Amino acid sequence: MSILQTLKNVISPSSSREKRVSVIGTRTAGKTTALGCLYLTCQIMSAMEPGFLYKVEEKTSGIREAPSMLRRGRFPTATLPGQYYEADFIMRWKGWGDETARLPFCEAAGEDEQKLLEPFQGGMYNINTDFRQIDSINKYILESNAFIFVAATNRVTQLEETQWYEKEPDQTFVDPDVNLARFIDKIFKYKEITRSAPIEGIAVLLTKYDEIRHLAKASGMSLETPQGARAFLDVNFPDTTASLKFYGLEKVKFFPVWVDTEKDENHRTIKDAQGNAKIVMDMRRRLPSYSIDSYKDLIQYIKTVITK
């Protein structure tokens, strides 16, 4: 055995490390679809890069269904309020020392996730809630080194016919900016109280960008440029931006993501008889048309964060 191989055998096991990057999203943010697109991107990258590996531990969530549905031209079913599902998405980069990112996520409406954190606000030992439904909630937040927040862009433009900013039947306020800002504040407070692992990076996935791209560009707020993204966030996510600035905006990176849908002459999504949006498909590759470059950039960002 060569000296180089001996060194590699000695160094690799001890230098292998894993960091946690929790995925959190507000209601109707498209988190399940985003995870499906992330899964598809990992499939593509794994086929092209031998050193990149991934796997999913489904636990109570059938997350593999999301990419399967996207490959068939259908959006995954949204998670309903009050329902909780868990899974871990694992990415590994093989080299001198394996670098592993574990993405634990709780498939719950983000507003429901906030409720799960509330018992911790007085301190990590002041807990009187039954967490058997989500037995890893402590690790889900406490041990995370980074976070991926998911927020929908189409709900902040006030383009929808309904008054989306009113309370839903369960009395939940649905402004994505307010809810995401609240969640960020809760997480940072929880981290501070418990003195747990510091937050090394935050990615914000701005989903459904295809639905507002033409208006954003016309307003000089294209998410595809740093200046436009900042203007869009300052106008449409002021509370979230303020919270992120307070805790360190230099740790945050924004990613506009989307799945292309068929549009009419007014740039509105075309739906079938059942009310489902029609996804633009690449039938040769059996893939939906989606923001694959943004997801590749996200994966690279995750790698950068976990190697700090």
If pLDDT is split at 50, 70 and 90, which confidence band does 75 have? very high
- The strands making up 99-106's β-sheet, listed across from edge to edge, are 52-57, 86-93, 99-106, 17-25, 146-152, 201-207, 252-256
Q: Poorest-confidence range of 109-113, 137-141, 242-246, 299-303?
A: 109-113
Average pLDDT of span 3-8: 39
Whether the pLDDT of residue 19 is over 80: the answer is: yes
Whether the pLDDT of residue 98 is over 60: the answer is: yes
Task: Give the model's pLDDT for residue 186.
Answer: 78
Whether the pLDDT of residue 1 is over 50: the answer is: no
48-73 pLDDT per residue, tens: 998 999 999 887 777 899 999 999 99
Whether the pLDDT of residue 13 is over 50: the answer is: no
| Mean of per-residue pLDDT scores for the chain | 77
Task: Give the model's pLDDT for residue 140.
Answer: 66
Residue 263 belongs to a domain: yes
- Percent of the chain exceeding pLDDT 90 equals 25
d(CA 308, CA 46): 23
Q: Poorest-confidence range of 13-17, 128-132, 235-239?
A: 128-132
Contacts of residue 49, defined as CB under 8 A and 6 or more positions apart, other chains included, come to none
d(CA 158, CA 71): 31
Q: What is the DSSP letter of 172?
A: -
- pTM as predicted: 0.82
Whether the pLDDT of residue 300 is over 90: the answer is: yes
d(CA 34, CA 29): 9
Residue 16 belongs to a domain: no
Query: What is the total count of domains within the chain?
Result: 1
Residue 15 belongs to a domain: no
Instruction: Return the top range by mean pLDDT from 96-105, 236-245, 261-270.
Output: 236-245
Containing domain of residue 185, as a range? 3-10+21-306
By C-alpha distance, which of 253, 296, 200, 39 is closest to 31? 39
Residue 58 belongs to a domain: yes
Task: Give the model's pLDDT for residue 250.
Answer: 77
123-171 pLDDT per residue, tens: 444 444 444 444 455 566 767 889 898 888 886 554 443 333 444 444 4
Residue 250 belongs to a domain: yes
Q: Poorest-confidence range of 91-100, 199-208, 255-264?
A: 91-100
Residue 68 belongs to a domain: yes
Task: Give the model's pLDDT for residue 173.
Answer: 52
What is the distance of C-alpha 36 from the center of its chain?
10
By C-alpha distance, which of 41, 10, 45, 19 is closest to 99? 19
Task: Give the model's pLDDT for residue 137.
Answer: 56
Q: Poorest-confidence range of 79-83, 210-214, 262-266?
A: 79-83
Task: Give the model's pLDDT for residue 81.
Answer: 62
127 vs 305 pLDDT, higher one: 305
